[in-house]
Amino acid sequence: MEKRRGNNEGTIVRRKDGRWMASITTGRDPNTGKIKRASFYGKTRKEVADKLAKALREKQQDNFVVPHKLTIGAWLDTWLWDYKKSSLRPVTFDSYERLIRCHLKPAFGHIPLRELRPELLQRFYNDKGQQGLSARTVRYCHTLLHGALTQAEKNQLVARNVATLVEPPRKERKEMQTLKREQVANELLTAIEHDQLGTGILLLFWTGVRRGELLGLRWQDTDFENAVLHIRQTLGRERIHDAKPGEPKTCLVFQEPKPNNPAEPFPSRVPA
């Protein structure tokens, strides 16, 4: 008969197939409230006892990682679609998806999540900078990785967030080049005088509205009596990630302008 173990010491049993199994409680599922357990297997009792002792030691030191075979690429997809999609605006979500697909997954996608090392991240940042990728884009990649690894740490999928141990490139400070008053009067107004987009360009220039806010304007948003424009919606283009061959890959999306409630429902699609 197996010796009874105390609370929080885990359990060790022999399976019907002859292998040994050890398990420990790792917490409760936040959605169901059910107890979550991690299991370890081996051919001998000593083998699983050693694994159990290591897990208990890591749990006591708050660096226990639930056994899993997730790759970084798989976790980035889970984090993006399950944890972030509902809270991001379409344009922001598309930029996240593009950076993950074009930069992060090609570099790290095949690597097991538990094996990501800070020196690997640092080399990635350095190499991308040398390859001509802007410091702003590299920092954006860092922000995404940091967020994904923070959630992985909360889920006990990694022992620590290694993105906190690296140095992303510094922010670039570029001097803004703006038009002078005489350039507006002598060049800009002359250039757009007969252009069909001239009125829109003037509105952008004189009011400072964003392009999406300009495109979202309707007649009911215009108060001619008081010479006021009300920015009530924006118009942007969203990528359709589940588009089938031959179907449109993008569509137009109306949504509330910034700042808005990040938890608001996703806007409805408008055929482009």
27-64 tens-digit pLDDT:
776 667 787 777 778 888 888 888 888 777 777 766 66
Mapped onto helix, strand or coil, the DSSP state of residue 259 is coil
More confident residue, 54 or 165: 165
Q: Identify any residues that bridge with 21 across adjacent strands, giving them in sequence order.
A: 13, 41
Q: 118-157 pLDDT, tens per residue? A: 999 999 999 998 898 899 999 999 999 999 999 998 888 8
- Predicted confidence at residue 9, as pLDDT, reads 65
Mean pLDDT of 236-250: 85
Q: Which of 10-19, 29-38, 78-87 is predicted least confidently?
A: 29-38
Looking at per-residue confidence, does 222 or 264 come out higher?
222
Instruction: State residue 1's pLDDT score.
Output: 43
The mean of the pLDDT values for the chain is 83
Looking at residue 125, its pLDDT comes to 93
Give the residue-averaged pLDDT of 186-210: 87
Decide if pLDDT at 5 tops 60.
no
Buried b / exposed e along 49-74 (16+ C-beta atoms within 10 A): bebbeebbeebeeeebbbebebbbbb
Q: How far apart are CA 160 and CA 62, in angstroms?
A: 10
* Better-predicted residue by pLDDT, 168 or 57: 168
pLDDT score of 205: 83
The Cβ of residue 181 has, within 10 Å, a number of other Cβ atoms equal to 7
Which residue has better confidence, 269 or 250? 250
pLDDT of residue 39: 78
pLDDT of 95 > 50? The answer is yes
Q: Six-digit token pair at 244?
A: 């089938």
Closest CA to 240 of 87, 80, 93: 93
Query: CA angle, 198 as apex, 196 and 204 as ends, to 5°?
Result: 135
Any long-range contacts for 67-70 (C-beta under 8 Å, 24+ apart)?
Answer: 67/38, 67/39, 67/40, 68/113, 68/114, 68/157, 69/112, 70/112, 70/113, 70/114, 70/157
Alpha-carbon dihedral 96, 213, 241, 148, rounded to 10 degrees? 20
**Within 10 Å of residue 92's Cβ, how many Cβ atoms?**
12
Q: What are phi and psi of 184, to 5 degrees?
A: -65, -45
- Give the pLDDT score at 47: 86
Q: For the chain, what percent of residues have pLDDT higher than 70?
A: 88
Q: Give residue 268's pLDDT.
A: 38
Element (H, E) at 28: strand 20-28
Residue 272, pLDDT above cutoff 50: no
Q: What percent of the chain has pLDDT over 90?
A: 32
Helix axes 135-154, 118-130, angle to 10 degrees: 160
For residues 216 and 202, the answer to whether their CB atoms sit within 8 Å is no
